[in-house]
Structure 1
């Protein structure tokens, strides 16, 4: 478990967002990046705005996914907003399957069940299977199954590809952990 956390941490150091020279700058950049990501999600998923309004809290993440043959990695930054409070998270992803490519992604988790939100805060794990092909450069490019949404266990999830190109069929796990950015290198 400790090795897995170390590997995931290294991935985030290499690929993570929310740069800055102080925790305050990193928080400001995380807020800016996730606010922009949320607007992209709203544009692609009409029901996302309603899901946020009806939720107990919502997590917005932005980061990178990399696919190289049998492995996939990625990481980024998230903000969790609930009852007027903002919490900051990092995430890392590791997967297995077939794939090739790189893309910047954004995703939204809306929590509609208090137990689901508590489980997220305490455990910080999510896993899923994915098969998709996507290509996007700024506003150009098409996507097939890259903009997905699903509802499981009191959590609605929405995802969009912001840019990049990838084709993959993978099983991926996500690890989230709270941060105040004081010990982040990025």
Structure 2
């Protein structure tokens, strides 16, 4: 069980931002998060105006897996403040009940400078999530609990891109800034 969880975590962290060098990884991260943002805008039309009014935003894409009492996940993010883009990786770990695997996208719109500073300084997010979702990339519509909510100056939007899962978990997310020079695994393209 422990080996399986570690394997899922490694696969999750290598799922995005592939490339043979840091510039290629940055380009692929921008492409993946841009596609994720398009998906979020489709599922949550109000997100577009929230981004336009916000102080900055973080858009992430990756995957979550749920196996009985544990959940793991991870992926990449782009953090936009004005014309500046920074790159982040994220990992998640949770406890609760669940089974399944899904590709996810989420957007944090920072409505205040204080909320943005908190993210940069702390880089943590935790919360309870309960949902059932099913979506296939090539099929329109989904049965999912796509959500949007406000948490202390941050507007959060999330979408399931594909996969199927049912879970009730308390999940924590850790974000860390990267320039992809010391990335976990190098991929050649």
User: 1:95-154 CA deviation, whole Å, 9 max, x = no partner?
Assistant: 000000000000000001111101101110000101100111114263231x10001111
Counterpart of 1:4 in structure 2 is none
Query: Structure 1 segments of 4 or more deviating over 3 A?
Result: 9-13
Instruction: Return the alpha-carbon distance in structure 1 between the equivalents of residues 7 and 109 of structure 2.
Output: 27
- Between the two proteins, the alignment pairs up a number of residues equal to 178
**Matched-pair contact (CA < 8 Å) for 2:135–2:144:** no
Instruction: Return the alpha-carbon distance in structure 2 between the equivalents of residues 165 and 151 of structure 1.
Output: 25
Give the secondary structure class of the aligned counterpart of 2:38: helix
RMSD of aligned alpha carbons: 1.6
Counterpart of 1:87 in structure 2 is 86
How far 1:11 sits from its partner (Å)? 6.4
Counterpart of 1:40 in structure 2 is 39
Instruction: Return the alpha-carbon distance in structure 2 between the equivalents of residues 22 and 11 of structure 1.
Output: 24
How far 1:14 sits from its partner (Å)? 2.6
How far 1:53 sits from its partner (Å)? 0.1
Change (3 A) 1:11 1:92: farther
Counterpart of 2:59 in structure 1 is 60
**Matched-pair contact (CA < 8 Å) for 2:9–2:72:** no
TM-score using structure 2 length: 0.90
Correspondence for 1:14 among 11, 15, 19: 11
TM-score using structure 1 length: 0.92
**Matched-pair contact (CA < 8 Å) for 1:78–1:91:** yes
**Matched-pair contact (CA < 8 Å) for 1:126–1:173:** yes
Instruction: Return the alpha-carbon distance in structure 2 between the equivalents of residues 148 and 164 of structure 1.
Output: 16
Counterpart of 1:175 in structure 2 is 174
User: 1:50-99 CA deviation, whole Å, 9 max, x = no partner?
Assistant: 00000110000000000000000000000000011000000000000000
Instruction: Return the alpha-carbon distance in structure 2 between the equivalents of residues 60 and 47 of structure 1.
Output: 15
